[in-house]
Amino acid sequence: MLMTEKLSIRIVGNSANLLELKNLTATAEMVLGDESADDTQYLLADGAHSDANELIQSSLSTWLDAGKTIAIWNPSEQQLAQLQNLTGMGAPATEELAAVVITKHAQPANGYHLSVVPKQAAEKVTLTVATADADEHHAPETSEVEAVEIDREQLLLQHLIAHGTFDASGSSLYPPSGATFGTAAQYHPYNVTWGAPTCNGNADDYTAGTNTQSPTGGVWNYYYVYYVDGEGGQPYYIVILKQTVQMSPSQRIASSYNSNGYFQYAVELNNNQPTAAWGSSANVNLLRQSPSTSTDGASHVRFEQSMRLMVDNNGGQVATPFSAIENCDNAIPGWGVIDQSSAGRGITDWYFHQIDTWDPTVNPPGDFGNWWASVFHGKYNGQVNDMPSLSYSNLQVETITAWRVDASSKDVSLNVSGSIGQSLALLHNYNGCTGASGSRHHHLYSGSYPIGWTDPLDLGKIVSQGY
């Protein structure tokens, strides 16, 4: 993330120890002072500090109503309960959290947007290693590369910036004024650092060496919640989830005649069927989703969900037809998308994948020995073929899902869970290989790393924010 100027973050209370967050202060101006200062958009509080806790308890709503973005470092269970009661959104247990960030947006509808900075230890990414020269010296079937522990302070800064870029578009998803309706949003960043390919504990690519590569991206989950009470019979909810995804492999550790990678060859977005939360009981069914499968270099969102809502009118209410509509085309040159959703299971799943040069849905990584020659200019010392430009840059796509939620009470809560995963690969020819396996080969190192989330939503609280 490139910043041309420092972000001004004001520390609330007397928690001067937050100034010691060295990695954060490298790209942010951390200042003490009046936490209500009008010229400061971002406030940072140490949830474990008594002075800051008192201010959070007394002033959180006031700060949010003033348009400020609040970050709570080391939040307590009491503070998370306060956020849940205020926003209708929950967060993981405190032992899983480093920080929580919250913003209120009043236009075009009142709604709160929440994101969390997780506590996450270093993990290992397992790569599948495929060789074109299958003999007694062939490479192992799998190899593990270290995923470096995330920098929580830098991640916090990424969250703060993301909260300032809320997408208020999609006006055709907003019903007539006076309907029982609300919005909520949660941001889930994608952060992992990949080590270079190894074999028997040694670097196996001359160009990559022992360098690391840090993909970037994330997904914004925008929730549009409608209380459908104008159709007669028992009212129900429709929950529309609009997701905007950005994923980039960042700068490759190998980009030469003999080696190429890591490049992204696929991104998969999955949403599970929502389940009842916080003691609620509900029946959830998938209504529709978009985009559909396409191979023409674009992802096409075509979505319309009709309903009848009771809308305020001249002191009373009148049943009003409404259709939530979302249409857009996202260019994905050299790529395609497969809709793998299942109405029967209530899940949505999209697999965005490379088509040009190498299509993993036609030639799976594990079959590299059968198709390896198609990605090199000639055998053995042939140059690695170039991949589509999108495989090296930023994939930006949108998806949309609608569920119907039937419950006996208006006060119903859901857990909406899902995941986003990025698949990366590195190719090298005979000369690009160090021979760490005992001899040199044409190799394909490939792997995927998904991150998951759960967004707890109190639907009754969300539609009571005022619209």
Domain with residue 94: its CATH number is 3.40.50
- Cα separations in angstroms, 265 against 184, 363, 375, 403: 32, 12, 13, 30
Q: Do 46 and 143 belong to one domain?
A: no
User: In percent, how much of the chain has pLDDT > 70?
Assistant: 84
State the residue range of the domain holding 69. 1-105
The answer to whether position 113 is within a domain reads no
- The CATH code of the domain that includes 416 is 2.70.240.10
Please tell me the total count of domains within the chain: 2
Let me know whether 53 and 193 are in one domain: no
Q: Are strands 7-11 and 42-46 parallel, antiparallel or unpaired?
A: parallel
Q: Please indicate, yes or no, if residue 112 is contained in any of the structural domains.
A: no
pLDDT tens track for 362-382: 999 988 988 998 999 876 678
Instruction: Give the mean pLDDT of the chain.
Output: 86
Q: Are residues 433 and 325 in the same domain?
A: yes
Task: Show which of 73, 105, 137 is a domain's final residue.
Answer: 105
Q: Are residues 91 and 203 in the same domain?
A: no
Helix (H) / strand (E) containing 350: strand 348-354
Does pTM surpass 0.85? Answer: yes
Other residues' Cβ atoms within 10 Å of the Cβ of residue 251: 11
Residue 59 lies in a domain: yes
**Within a domain: residue 96?**
yes
Does 283 share its domain with 368? Answer: yes
Q: How many CA atoms lie within 13 A of 405 on its CB side?
A: 30
pLDDT mean over 297-323: 95
Decide which of 57, 73, 105 is a domain's last residue. Answer: 105
> CB–CB of 59/79 below 8 Å?
no
Whether the CB-CB separation of 189 and 162 falls below 8 Å is answered with yes
Interval 209-227: pLDDT, tens: 999 998 988 999 999 999 9
Model pLDDT, residue 26:
59
pLDDT (0 to 100) of residue 381: 75
For residues 36 and 64, which has the higher predicted lDDT (pLDDT)? Answer: 64
Same domain, 331 and 394: yes
- φ/ψ of 275, rounded to 5, equals -125, 155
Q: Are 370 and 133 in contact (CB under 8 A)?
A: no
pLDDT per position as a tens digit, 123-153: 667 787 888 754 434 544 666 666 655 667 7
Of 382, 395, 384, nearest to 445 (Cα)?
384
**pLDDT at site 36:** 52
Q: Which of 35, 251, 254, 225 has the alpha carbon at shortest distance from 111?
A: 225
Residue with token string 């857009």: 328
Task: Answer yes or no: do 83 and 126 share one domain.
Answer: no
User: Is 467 among the domain residues?
Assistant: no
Domain presence at residue 319: yes
For the cut 90, the answer to whether the pLDDT of residue 271 exceeds it is yes
Of 48, 80, 105, the position where a domain reaches its end is 105
Residue 111 forms part of a structural domain = no
Q: Which two tokens stand for residue 323?
A: 């259709």
Q: How far, in whole angstroms, is CA 14 from its chain's centroid?
A: 34
302 and 445 part of one domain: yes
Q: Say yes or no: 144 and 291 in one domain.
A: yes
Domain co-membership, 33 together with 162:
no
What distance, in Å, lies between the first and last C-alpha atoms of the chain? 35
Residue 202 has pLDDT above 80, yes or no: yes
**What is the pLDDT, as a whole number, of residue 298?**
98
DSSP 19: G
Are residue 70 and residue 128 in the same domain, yes or no? no
Does residue 117 lie within any of the structural domains? no
Instruction: Give yes or no: residues 458 and 419 share one domain.
Output: yes
